[in-house]
Every structure is written in structure tokens, then in C-alpha cells.
Amino acid sequence: MLNTKQQEAVNFKNGQMLVVSCPGSGKTTVIVARVHQLIESGVNPSNILIITFTKEAADQMQKRYEKEYGPTQAFFGTIHSICFRVLAKAYNYTKEDILRANEQWEFMFNFLCKKVSSTDLQEYIKNMIAEIGYVRNKGMDYRKYQPEHSEKDIFRATYQAYDEFKKEKNKIDFDDMLVICQKCFREDKENLQYWKNQFTHIMIDEFQDTNSIQADIFYMLAGPDGNLFVVGDDDQSIYKFRSADSSIMLDFPKTFPKCRTIYMDTNYRSGTEVIKYAGNLIRINKNRFEKNFHGFREEQGAVSAIACNGPNEEVDSILKDMNSLRKQGVKYTDMAVLYRTNMENQLLAGKLLKLKVPFYTTEAIKDYHEDFIFQDIMAYYRLSCGNERKGDLQRILNRPSRFLKAEPFKNCSFSKADLFEACKKLGDKSVHAMSKINELLYDIDMLKEQTVPYGFVQSLLSMGYMTFIGKFCEFTGRDLEICMQTLNLLLEEAKEQGSMEEWQAYAKFYSESLQQKKRDKRKDGVCLSTFHSAKGLEWSRVYILNADDGNCPYKKSDDIEEERRLFYVAVTRAKDVCKIFYSGSNGKKKQTPSQFLYEMGLLNTGAKIIKPIIY
């Protein structure tokens, strides 16, 4: 049964309409029902185009339509799928002309592997591809673009070489599809008219995620007086890094002055408390459509801010609550843990694995034990306990820097006699080298006394290793903040290990379990997701991690309104309960709660502020 505003949107047939749809307001229901209504009113199904922004979403929407109304000739697809059709007709493109993801990745690896010193080349390539796509979709001059994740010269060289690579292969990528389709519509009016005749009624879902090239294609296809029906929520525009522009939706009534606007402001998903606190937050934003949120459900639900002493306590509090809920019969599939960046899932994933709690993730979990910091720690440990592996000495010889030439120590084992013999090969620098080797031997002796992992790592850091991390990042181009996050994760993990042997065994267990998770594609158990990937999903119970200043809003972001929208998306995934965790302190370090908790009214209006009890 549709409500009045939903029915009004469904019944709209000709002209332009903007539907501003709040979380849980049934926009998919409206789109599916409107397709059926158009067909019932006499519109040829093959003249109806429904665009959404992922293939999965398009497939799900079509299946939902066919389940309710039967097979249809209406076209459900993505912007890229329709652009490909345009290019196939205009220029005889086939699927063989589209560059595959593995071809793109192989080119980037071969081109960049000898040009950058990043130890995480996979992440570097991922960022490079994203930034090239951003520039293409924004229609920017790549020579004037200031990249965030690489040096300007490397970005320019990669951009140019990638273009040449595509020309040599005579292929285009997904970004090229949009650019070429836009050019085709602008320059070939006959072709444009063909597609305007083909699709007389256009519907666009998630319109807040549109970028300027996509909007131009849509607007040319519809024409100034065409039948264009767009649905979205400007408060959920969170893909600026993919070149999405929320102002396109905000300016739709100006672009089409005759358009009608409907506000679907009834939330059928969440309890009234979730709606209230989320509303308090998003109303702070200036650049948005004003809305009055209403809840359909009578249940209140609950939102709370929970102060903890660091990440371990946050995770333990969540696990305790999950265990309590399971005893009450709540399914793990009704729970989700959300976080701002993908780095934040690692500690939680480890504890879920250890407790054998089923879970899945929307993004792959990186095994931080494979990073250089943990590998260095374990090399030092093996040397300190007499279990040297080949390469351990060479690995840590200049970590921290001891200004020792590597070549004389290339085949050296960790014994005083062998080390001093290697020093003699340095000629007039041998005295200095022996002095540094004595310092290394002393440091290793000190580490022998540290049998508890946390004390071992702290001792290593005090020996100059902390300074080394900073210099290493500066030299290799690694992101220092990410390296420090990895170090903090290891420190938190070390606190819970009784011995170094136990820590080694845990790291092996963690790695093997992650490999098994990668092979298991089932979405079973607790969902672990970034805020971005949680969009469009919902759970009864939502936990939000690390709601601290610097993380929420993220300190690298220059758009506070988008950060606020992102937090709003996270909170509104909750149907019944949303628990938001922040660190009042992290050991000796004081943490500042996210400003969003104050804006929501959770830290200054008497809403629950809970100090968890961990057993």
C-alpha cells in the first residue's frame, strides 16, 4: 500500500519530476511501481529506461519488477550499459573493444613498479586508477591536476602512458565510454534523436551520485521538455572522490523550471530515536533540500554514544553486546559494524575469527602482519632468542639506520665473530662499523629480557625504531598515517598476547583465516563495512567504531558537509539500535569525541552516555 506522496510519484507520467527520498522511504518500491504504471497507461515497455549506478542494483530492481509484475521489455541498466549501446550503434564497438580490468591493472603494474618506491604497490595502483578516473569524469586538464596519492610528475607520466597504451591496444575503458558518448550526442544530432525516440521515458535512481558528464548525457537524451524522472537523497551524496556532484541534484529545479518536486520524507526503516538523532545531525548542513522527517514505525529504537579506553575496549564492548543479543535469539545477520576507513576492521576481524563468530566484509581485509613493521618485529625477536632465519639480520641491519653498508653483511650470520669479520671489509670505516655492531648487539641483549610482546615492541620503539618508521615513509612514499595506524593495531594486539610465540601463532592463524574468508563468498554472519559500502543496506543493530575527531570527520577530507552526510548514512542504516563508540582516552593519549556526536545531541542533551563494563 503506497502512501499519498509515493502514489503521486507513481502516477506522474509526462514531464520532469524530482523525488527527494529520505532513508527507508521506499524509493525502489516507487520506481518499480511507476514502471508498471507507465506500461499500464500505454507506454511501450521498450521505450522505458531505468538507470541506476551499479549492475547489481539494476539486476535486483529488474528481478523485483519481474517478481511482482512479470517479464518486461523495459531496460534496467547502468549509465555505462546504455553508453555502450550508443557506441555500438554509432561506431560498431563490441565487448572486445573494452579494456578489461586485468589488462588495466597489468599495464599499471608494469609501468609503475620501477618508477615508485612504495612498498604497497597494489594500493598505489588502486589510487592511481581512481584519480585518473576522477580527472576524466570531471573533464579536467590532467596537467593542471594536483594528485593526492602520487607526485605530480608520476601522475602526468602515467596518465599519458595509459592513454597511449589504450590507443595501441585500440581499446577504451569505462571512463572513455562516457566521454565518447557525450561527444557523440553533442556532435551527432541524428544519433541523439535515434536514442531520444528509443527512450521516451527516463528514470534515474540514486541521482545524488551523478557527475557532470553523466548529467549532460541524461539531459541531452531527455531534452529540455522530455520525460525525466529522477530519484535521490541529497543528504546521501557521499561519492565526491568518484567525481559525484551533489549540486547537480540541488540545481535540478533550476535546470528544469517546469519540474515537479515531491519529498518522500516518511522513513519506514528506522525507529523514531534513530530518525531524530540522524535528523539533528544532517540539518547542520547548509547545502541541502530542507526536509521534515517522519517515522512510520511506532517503536522508538535507541541511539547511544559509548566512551571507551582505546580500540580494544571498543571491540570488546561490541563483542559482549553481540554475545548478549545472540542469547536473546538475535541473528548475527541482523548486526553490522561500520567504520570510516577500511583500516579499522582489522582488530575486530581478528577477535571475531578467534571467537569463531561468523562474519563477512564488503571490502577485503588487509593482513597487517604482512606489513614491514610486524615482519621487522619478528626478525628482531628471532635474533634475540637465537632462532635466526636467513635474511633476518639483513632485514633489520639498518632498521633503525646504523649507516652500515649492506654488501659486507650480505651472507653474514648473526654472531659476534661473523659480524666483526664483515666490518673488517669496510677498511677505514671498520671502526665505525664495529661501534654500530656493538650497539646492535647491546640492543638485541636488551630485547632478550622482554618476553611479553607489548614490552618487546615498546623496547624496540625506544631504540630508534619509531624514528625509523617516519624516515622510511618519507623515503619510500608510504603514507605515515597508515603506518602509524598499523603500528597502533599491533600494539593493541600485543597487549593481548602472553608470549612472542603465542603472537607468532596468532599471526599465522589470522593469515590463514583471512585466506579462507577470501575463498568464501557467502554473506553470512555479522557484516563489517565502511560507511561508503554500507549505503543502501540496513540492519536491526548497527555499531559504529572510532567516532573520534580526526576520523569522523576524516582529517584528510576538505568537505565537512560530505563527511557529515557520510556519518548520517552510517547512522540511518540502523532499524532499531545504533551504538556509536568513541575513545575518551587511549592509554595516556586523550581523544576528542567526534563533533558529530555533539551535533546529534548525544553528548550534551542527556541521551545515554555509557561507559561499558568488559568482563
**% of the chain with per-residue pLDDT over 70:** 97
Residue 263 three-state SS:
strand
- Highest mean pLDDT, choosing among 37-41, 483-487, 581-585: 37-41
Mean pLDDT, residues 70-92: 96
Mean pLDDT, residues 515-534: 88
CATH topology for 4-89+179-264 is: Rossmann fold (3.40.50)
Residues 213 and 226: their CA atoms lie apart, in Å, by 19
Residues 192 and 196: their CA atoms lie apart, in Å, by 6
CATH topology for 294-358+524-600 is: Rossmann fold (3.40.50)
φ, ψ of residue 47 in degrees (nearest 5): -95, 5
Query: What pLDDT score does 123 carry?
Result: 80
Mean pLDDT, residues 571-598: 86
Q: At residue 611, does pLDDT exceed 50?
A: no
Residues 402 and 386: their CA atoms lie apart, in Å, by 22
Res. 118 pLDDT band, cuts 50 70 90: low
**Residue-wise pLDDT tens digits, 234-245:** 999 999 988 999
What's the DSSP call for residue 339?
E
Res. 312 pLDDT band, cuts 50 70 90: confident
Mean pLDDT, residues 210-228: 95
27 is in an annotated binding site: yes
Residues 305 and 603: their CA atoms lie apart, in Å, by 7
Mean pLDDT, residues 95-114: 93
Res. 200 pLDDT band, cuts 50 70 90: very high
Q: E strands, 310-434, where?
A: 335-339, 359-361
Contacts of 588 (CB under 8 A, 6+ apart): none
Mean pLDDT, residues 214-227: 95
Query: What pLDDT score does 609 carry?
Result: 46
The bridge status of strand 589-590 relative to strand 266-267 is: unpaired
User: CA torsion 446→448→453→459, rounded to 10°?
Assistant: 10
Residues 323 and 475: their CA atoms lie apart, in Å, by 45
Of 181 and 586, which is predicted with more confidence?
Answer: 181
**Residue-wise pLDDT tens digits, 134-176:** 999 998 999 999 998 888 999 999 999 999 999 999 999 999 9
Residues 413 and 480: their CA atoms lie apart, in Å, by 32
Q: At residue 256, does pLDDT exceed 70?
A: yes
Q: At residue 192, does pLDDT exceed 60?
A: yes
Query: What pLDDT score does 68 carry?
Result: 95
Q: At residue 607, does pLDDT exceed 70?
A: no
**% of the chain with per-residue pLDDT over 90:** 77
Q: Are 58 and 52 in contact (CB under 8 A)?
A: yes
For residue 304, what is its C-alpha cell? 547511544
Query: What pLDDT score does 612 carry?
Result: 44
Res. 585 pLDDT band, cuts 50 70 90: low
Q: Which of 348, 306, 312 is nearest to 587 (CA)?
A: 312
415 is in an annotated binding site: no
The CATH architecture that domain 369-509 belongs to is Orthogonal Bundle (1.10)
Residues 233 and 263: their CA atoms lie apart, in Å, by 10
Mean pLDDT, residues 62-72: 96
**Amino acid of residue 391:** G
593 is in an annotated binding site: no
25 is in an annotated binding site: yes
Mean pLDDT, residues 460-467: 94
In the numeric block, the cell 549501446 is attached to: 85
Query: What pLDDT score does 124 carry?
Result: 85
28 is in an annotated binding site: yes
Query: What pLDDT score does 586 carry?
Result: 55
Encode 17-51: b = buried (16+ Cβ within 10 Å), e = exposed: bbbbbbbbbbbbbbbbbbbbbbbeeebeeebbbbb
Residues 491 and 486: their CA atoms lie apart, in Å, by 9
- Predicted model pTM: 0.86
Alpha helices by DSSP H, 425-499: 430-448, 453-460, 466-476, 480-494
Res. 406 pLDDT band, cuts 50 70 90: confident
Res. 435 pLDDT band, cuts 50 70 90: very high
Res. 314 pLDDT band, cuts 50 70 90: very high
List, in sequence order, every residue forming a beta bridge with 530; answer none if it has no partner. Answer: 339
Mean pLDDT of the chain, nearest integer: 92
24 is in an annotated binding site: yes
**Residue-wise pLDDT tens digits, 478-517:** 778 888 888 988 998 999 899 999 999 999 999 888 888 8
Query: What pLDDT score does 606 carry?
Result: 45
Query: What pLDDT score does 289 carry?
Result: 95
Residues 399 and 443: their CA atoms lie apart, in Å, by 12
For residue 220, what is its C-alpha cell? 541531452
Q: Are 202 and 219 in contact (CB under 8 A)?
A: no
Query: What pLDDT score does 376 carry?
Result: 95
Q: At residue 536, does pLDDT exceed 80?
A: yes
**Residue-wise pLDDT tens digits, 324-334:** 999 999 999 99
Q: Cα–Cα distances in Å, from 11 out to 18, 38, 199, 351? A: 13, 8, 19, 51
